[in-house]
Amino acid sequence: MAKKEHIERHTADALRARQARGESQSDWARAAAMTEDKIEAAIAEDADEAGMVIDWAQASVETPRPKAVLNMRVDREVMDFFRSQGRGYQTRINAVLRSYVEQMRHQTKR
């Protein structure tokens, strides 16, 4: 995955200082004055939001459980495949294993 060069990172304190100096590019007064209908219309006009419908009523917040440390042997071809996918290969292996576990649990409930 190519690194995005256009991303700027700032601390919360640095952003507050910029806002206090009037260097913020956000028009917070205009945003605060917008009605719900105007907000919805602005979202509808945004090409990045096209077709995006999110039902937040069903959202849940789940804190991740700590992962267990595992030392295991796998076929070289399996490890090479996941490593060839780039960074995060261990997370992908975990996702594959999790999917298998969920499928097995679903089958045993029948």
**In this structure, is residue 84 part of a structural domain?**
yes
Task: Give me the domain span that covers residue 93.
Answer: 76-109
**In this structure, is residue 59 part of a structural domain?**
no
**In this structure, is residue 34 part of a structural domain?**
no
**In this structure, is residue 27 part of a structural domain?**
no
d(CA 81, CA 75): 10
- The pLDDT score that the predictor gives to residue 96 is 94
More confident residue, 50 or 96: 96
**In this structure, is residue 60 part of a structural domain?**
no
Q: Domain tally for the chain?
A: 1
**In this structure, is residue 13 part of a structural domain?**
no
Token pair 């071809």 in the structure block, residue = 77
From the list 105, 81, 104, the residue with the least C-alpha distance to 92 is 81
Please list, in sequence order, all residues whose beta carbon lies within 8 angstroms of the beta carbon of residue 49, skipping any fewer than 6 positions away.
43
pLDDT digits (tens, 9 = 90+) for 80-94: 999 999 999 999 999
Tokens standing for 95?
């996702």
**In this structure, is residue 19 part of a structural domain?**
no
- The pLDDT score that the predictor gives to residue 80 is 95
Report pTM. 0.42
